[in-house]
Amino acid sequence: MKKPPSSPSDAESARALFQAHGRDFQANRYVYPVLSRRAGGISIGVNVNRDKACNFDCVYCQVDRTEKVDTEPVDLDLLATELQRMVELVTSGRIFEQTKFRDTPPELRRFNDIAISGDGEPTLAANFIDIVKVCAKALRSQPCGDATLVLITNATLLHQDRVRRALEVLDEVDGRIWAKLDAGTEDYYRKVARSTVPFQRILDNLTEAAQARPIVIQSLFMRINNEPPPTAELEAYCDRLNEILAAGGQIESVQIHTIARTPAESFVAALTNAEVDAAAELVRKRSNLRVAAYHGTS
């Protein structure tokens, strides 16, 4: 992971870019570039949920679901065309001629990944395996250095056969799963995710996925009604990580972050930098895993 820029001007530029995660770019329907603080470089996002379908209703979600949605299935040919053009734009460096990315600090001018994500849960897409195949082909078609393919998921559907087959395609290009885990207990999970999917299903899916390949755990903690997550909840969260490890799961790293953009609910707010750092240190001590902390202001 690249270190954050050291000079005040570079830090200010990066901070502004990190906040700018809009999924609209030129006339594209699916593909958009962002400067990702977690990736430490340029990430090419693939929004496969223009229908905004999700089986979570997270209190911190920044997706506006009051807007008109696109219910058409993902057009694979259009996706392939948009990806080819975007990969060429990024790998050539011409992306940094764009107004939005002109002030990107030198150390962040790198192509990190194609990230399958979007305005909902990407594995809900009916043609998900075909989407992964298109993304994998785009990555192989250009000299992309060490860039990889990433699936950003809430892990609810990783047990389905159609999703398992898609993960095999991901594995063929040495891709990564970045999976959400925002709680250590069922009660807190339901408070944050507001989902009917049982918490145990997510834990089982994370374990199975991690037994097959290393995964990254993404966790967002916040203040709810001005209260940070209780220490007991964070300790339970660490217990869940350790249970995955004890079952033979491989966790490449853990990302602890907090709210960086406007959330869905007004009663949630970002943790302080000190609170994020303390949570990350607790996870390091209790799990012995590699942990990165991302402040809401960085």
Residue 58: which residues within 8 A CB-CB, separation 6 or more? 182, 192, 193, 194, 264
- Using pLDDT thresholds of 50, 70 and 90, give the confidence band for residue 145: confident
Give the closest residue to 203 by CA, choosing from 231, 182, 175, 174.
182
Give the closest residue to 6 by CA, choosing from 83, 106, 109.
106
Query: Which pLDDT score, from 0 to 100, does residue 66 have?
Result: 72
Q: What predicted TM-score, i.e. pTM, was given to this entire model?
A: 0.89
Per-residue pLDDT of 42-87, as tens digits, reads 999 999 999 999 999 999 998 887 776 788 899 999 999 999 999 9
Query: Which pLDDT score, from 0 to 100, does residue 38 have?
Result: 75
Q: Which domains does the chain have, with CATH numbers?
A: 1-176 (no CATH), 181-298 (3.30.750)
Share of the chain above pLDDT 90, in %: 79
Residue-wise DSSP of 216-229:
EEEEE-EEETTBPP
Q: Which residue type occupies 76?
A: L
Instruction: Give the whole-angstrom CA distance, residue 273 versus residue 224.
Output: 16
Query: How do strand 268-270 and strand 222-224 relate by DSSP bridges?
Result: antiparallel
Query: Which pLDDT score, from 0 to 100, does residue 118 have?
Result: 84
Per mean pLDDT, which range of 3-7, 246-250, 288-292 is the poorest?
3-7
Give the closest residue to 229 by CA, choosing from 188, 284, 281.
188
> What average pLDDT does range 207-213 have in this prediction?
98
* Residue given tokens 């958009």 in the structure block: 32
Give the closest residue to 120 by CA, choosing from 28, 47, 39.
47
Contact indicator for 234, 258 with CB cutoff of 8 Å: no
Q: Which residue type occupies 231?
A: T
Residue 155: which residues within 8 A CB-CB, separation 6 or more? 179, 180, 181, 202, 205, 206, 209
> Whole-number mean pLDDT of the chain?
90
